[in-house]
Amino acid sequence: MSYLEVETPAVLIDVELAEANVRKFQDYCNQHALNVRPHIKTHKIPELAKLQMKAGAVGINCQKIGEAEIMAEQGLDDILITFNILGDAKLRRLRALSDKVSSLAVTADSSTVVRGLSSMFADAVKPLGVLVECDTGGHRCGRQSPQDAFDLAQEISALPGLRFGGLMTYPAPGGAAAVQSFMSETIGLLENSGLACPTVSVGGTPDMWRAHLVPAATEHRPGTYIYFDRSMVARGTCSEADCAINVLVTIVSTPAPGRAIIDAGSKVLSSDLLGLDGHGYVIGRPDVSIAKLSEEHGHLEYPADSEPLVVGERLRIIPNHACVVSNLVDAVHFVKAGRVDRAVAVSARGKVT
Amino acid sequence: MSYLEVETPAVLIDVELAEANVRKFQDYCNQHALNVRPHIKTHKIPELAKLQMKAGAVGINCQKIGEAEIMAEQGLDDILITFNILGDAKLRRLRALSDKVSSLAVTADSSTVVRGLSSMFADAVKPLGVLVECDTGGHRCGRQSPQDAFDLAQEISALPGLRFGGLMTYPAPGGAAAVQSFMSETIGLLENSGLACPTVSVGGTPDMWRAHLVPAATEHRPGTYIYFDRSMVARGTCSEADCAINVLVTIVSTPAPGRAIIDAGSKVLSSDLLGLDGHGYVIGRPDVSIAKLSEEHGHLEYPADSEPLVVGERLRIIPNHACVVSNLVDAVHFVKAGRVDRAVAVSARGKVT
């Protein structure tokens, strides 16, 4: 059907555009001999993870065990969970997941975490891969220095049930030089000790086209690149025409001149600003700003001399941040050649644990 | 079980506290001869809507047809949807919903909307209640003047299938005087024309204890009051001890002095700041700020001389904004007497249409 027939608000995914985005980055990585391990947090849809695998990805990246469980159920069988897993219940789920897939790895940045992992996997036939998370300037999790990273790698390699899987970082945007320096120094320490470093995994869509500036890296983990969004347009990572995710909305009120209200608020578009002005970009209407969001209303403002918006009119919005929008809806609509193909469940949505 | 055994992140609801919050406002409204029509957007759980009804509410308030459908399925049968409903698909669902419940009403602020409603209900045995939404300073939807509100009321009363249900506003906080002035003037116009105004419905938790300052009001529609949150503590509407919603989290990393990372980010706490500093309040640790959120990580900061946070330690957080947090999880955990009673599905979560 025409996407004009879909009930609004609706999240539309242009599947052909998404596939083109995936292929373009895969080609780039192939040229630079980098593996691609897409982060599924952006779409949370097994079918799209399979599309990424088919294009040449070596495996997928999840942030939560719950996401990985959904992906494994659907046949994805090489999974890296880039999160410190703690606590008996989660460790039991991790062990069960490991029995199900051909390759499972996690990241860790402390002795507490790796000792917990080892206690659960000590008697496992297949050891759990554990990558050391390194803080290369992102200032989130991660070992603070190459020596610290090396120390934890040694601890992992000595613990039963674990295999040292390599190094991982989620860098600050523009942090290629810092990543290279941290990683090459750590690799030096590992080599000197005779410990092999099978993987150096670097993340992020913001720096996806600069991934080759980290020669130490063996794989890149982009998430947003499949859909892109307004924040990536603003950074110059993509153009407006590359954005495969749109939020279709209806004008429900034009109460006063220069003000229009849409049927999507923070419960669809999210409140994420990511440093931008306004809550999204109205396609074809650069004069219209999404000035404010209530939970179920979006407040549009436009100049007095603009073409007035009309109650019942539909607009398409490029959201500021794709990953949080797909997490807010139970299903998205796949669009092909400008027509709605079908509704697709966002199966891993809301898997917070 | 002890809430310490629940997997994190988890949204905990202290049901006894929630019930006390509901009763306290019901008592206040009973004293002032005001009806209570709770907005279920905050909890999205039919069981809690029934708790509100049992306490004395006259009906419930929903923002989306999808929410109302879930509530009606569970036996809630007096529903006001405070939204302009547009488009064939939604109008058909509205008609089906009307056949199911004993009382259904919506709000409208334009001829376009009321004509659409009338076209769908023209042959209905039971007319649809339509309240005129008034902009009393909230600057969202709504008629801009008493005369405009009166004109639309007349149009509604003349259209087949509709009954004029009264006036509705979602005021700006502190807007009692403006609401009273707008409403009393509109009521004057209605009385002069012989049109009865059965309901004057005013909204919002921020002004809940000032509801009696609008003598024209017949009902109040609070949402957040059942849970409260950090923004309501900041406004002085409630105290920290009244907050019935907590997010239980685990420290997963303490990578550097004064920094700790929790397993809840914007996909659980949301990015809503509501004018506050930081992304929530850590109970018992006023020295700790939730400085930043990634999607699945929360960045805590605390002074060098504070008691250090430890990997594996659990914290409870009062979120900035309760309504968006319950919308992010498929289930919450009901807590009674400090112990987890059971997991409860957030049935109307994600009902965006």
pLDDT digits (tens, 9 = 90+) for B149-159: 999 999 999 99
Residues ≥6 apart with Cβ < 8 Å to A186: A132, A134, A146, A149, A150, A153, A167, A197
Of A9, A84, A271, the CB nearest to B272: A271
- Whether residue B3 is predicted with pLDDT greater than 80 in this model: the reply is no
At A78 the three-state DSSP class reads strand
Taking a C-beta distance cutoff of 8 angstroms, is the pair A183, A197 a contact? no
Q: Does B350 touch chain A (CB under 8 A)?
A: yes
B338: its two tokens:
């400090």
- CA distance linking residue A290 with residue A300, whole number of Å: 5
Helices B65-73 and B88-100: angle between axes, nearest 10 degrees: 20
* For B329, nearest residue in chain A (alpha carbons): A350
B120: its two tokens:
């769908």
Q: Does B327 touch chain A (CB under 8 A)?
A: yes
With cut-offs at 50, 70 and 90, classify the pLDDT of residue A72: very high
- Where is B121: in which H helix or E strand? helix B111-121
Separation in Å, CA of B31 to nearest CA in chain A: 31
- CA distance linking residue A278 with residue B121, whole number of Å: 38
Q: Does A353 touch chain B (CB under 8 A)?
A: yes
Are A252 and B90 a contacting pair at CB < 8 A?
A: no
Percent residues over pLDDT 70 in chain A: 100
Taking a C-beta distance cutoff of 8 angstroms, is the pair B84, B107 a contact? yes
Domains of chain B are: 3-9+231-345 (2.40.37.20), 32-227 (3.20.20.10)
Q: Which residues of B touch A330 (CB under 8 A)?
A: 350
Taking a C-beta distance cutoff of 8 angstroms, is the pair B263, B249 a contact? yes
- CA distance linking residue B237 with residue B226, whole number of Å: 12
Separation in Å, CA of A255 to nearest CA in chain B: 6
Separation in Å, CA of B93 to nearest CA in chain A: 11
Separation in Å, CA of B297 to nearest CA in chain A: 8
pLDDT digits (tens, 9 = 90+) for B244-301: 999 999 999 999 999 999 999 999 999 999 999 999 999 999 999 999 999 999 999 9
Q: Which residues of A touch B297 (CB under 8 A)?
A: 140-141
Q: Does B311 touch chain A (CB under 8 A)?
A: yes
Start-to-end CA span in chain A (Å):
36
Question: In terms of DSSP bridges, do strands B103-108 and B78-81 run parallel, antiparallel, or are they unpaired?
Answer: parallel
Percent residues over pLDDT 90 in chain A: 98
Q: Does B314 touch chain A (CB under 8 A)?
A: no
Q: Which residues of B touch A327 (CB under 8 A)?
A: 267, 295, 328
- pLDDT value of residue B2: 84
**Mean pLDDT of all residues belonging to chain B:** 97
Q: Does B137 touch chain A (CB under 8 A)?
A: no
Are A83 and B295 a contacting pair at CB < 8 A?
A: no
- CA distance linking residue B260 with residue A144, whole number of Å: 13
Q: Does A136 touch chain B (CB under 8 A)?
A: no
Are B135 and A252 a contacting pair at CB < 8 A?
A: no
- pLDDT value of residue B110: 98
How large is the ipTM?
0.97
Q: Where are the alpha helices (DSSP H) in B125-279?
A: 146-158, 176-193, 230-235, 266-269
Separation in Å, CA of A31 to nearest CA in chain B: 31
> Sign of dihedral through CA atoms B74, B78, B83, B89?
positive
The number of beta carbons lying within 10 Å of the beta carbon of residue A247 is: 25
- pLDDT value of residue A35: 98
pLDDT digits (tens, 9 = 90+) for A148-159: 999 999 999 999
* Rg, chain A, Cα only: 22
Q: Does B284 touch chain A (CB under 8 A)?
A: no
With cut-offs at 50, 70 and 90, classify the pLDDT of residue A243: very high
Are B252 and A84 a contacting pair at CB < 8 A?
A: yes
Rounded to 5°, the CA angle A324-A328-A334 comes to 90
Residues ≥6 apart with Cβ < 8 Å to A330: A345, A346, A349, B350
Are A271 and B267 a contacting pair at CB < 8 A?
A: no
| Beta-carbon pairs below 8 A across chains A and B | 167
- Whether residue B5 is predicted with pLDDT greater than 90 in this model: the reply is no
Residues ≥6 apart with Cβ < 8 Å to B24: none
- pLDDT value of residue A3: 77
Mean pLDDT to the nearest integer, A159-185: 97
- CA distance linking residue A61 with residue A40, whole number of Å: 6
Q: Which residues of A touch B299 (CB under 8 A)?
A: 139-140
Separation in Å, CA of A35 to nearest CA in chain B: 24
- CA distance linking residue A268 with residue A331, whole number of Å: 12
- Find, among A304, A274, A275, A276, the residue nearest to A288 by Cα: A304
- pLDDT value of residue A5: 85
Residues ≥6 apart with Cβ < 8 Å to B53: B59, B60, B76
- CA distance linking residue A208 with residue A254, whole number of Å: 41
- pLDDT value of residue B41: 98
- pLDDT value of residue B4: 76
Q: Which residues of B touch A297 (CB under 8 A)?
A: 140-141
Are B144 and A353 a contacting pair at CB < 8 A?
A: no
- pLDDT value of residue A1: 82
Q: Does B138 touch chain A (CB under 8 A)?
A: no
Of B253, B295, B323, the CB nearest to A84: B253
Global pTM value: 0.97
- pLDDT value of residue A338: 86
- CA distance linking residue B263 with residue B296, whole number of Å: 6
Question: In terms of DSSP bridges, do strands B245-256 and B259-262 run parallel, antiparallel, or are they unpaired?
Answer: antiparallel
* For B116, nearest residue in chain A (alpha carbons): A312
Of A5, A141, A255, the CB nearest to B141: A255
Residue numbers of A between 97 and 126 with CB closer than 8 Å to B: 109-110, 112-113
Residue of B88, B140, B321 to mutate for A, most A C-beta atoms under 10 A: B140
- Whether residue B194 is predicted with pLDDT greater than 80 in this model: the reply is yes
Are B250 and A140 a contacting pair at CB < 8 A?
A: no
Query: How would you label A252-282 residue by residue, b for 16+ Cβ within 10 Å and e otherwise?
Result: bbbbeeebbbbbbbbbbbbbbeeeeebbbbb
Q: Where are the alpha helices (DSSP H) in A101-145?
A: 111-121
Are B255 and A143 a contacting pair at CB < 8 A?
A: yes
**Mean pLDDT of all residues belonging to chain A:** 97
pLDDT digits (tens, 9 = 90+) for B300-334: 999 999 999 999 999 999 999 999 999 999 999 99
Q: Does B41 touch chain A (CB under 8 A)?
A: yes
- pLDDT value of residue B1: 82
Of B259, B270, B312, the CB nearest to A271: B270
* For A352, nearest residue in chain B (alpha carbons): B9
Are A252 and B295 a contacting pair at CB < 8 A?
A: no
Q: Does A155 touch chain B (CB under 8 A)?
A: no
Q: Where are the alpha helices (DSSP H) in chain A?
A: 15-31, 46-54, 65-73, 88-100, 111-121, 146-158, 176-193, 230-235, 266-269, 322-326
- CA distance linking residue A57 with residue A222, whole number of Å: 11
Mean pLDDT to the nearest integer, B174-193: 97
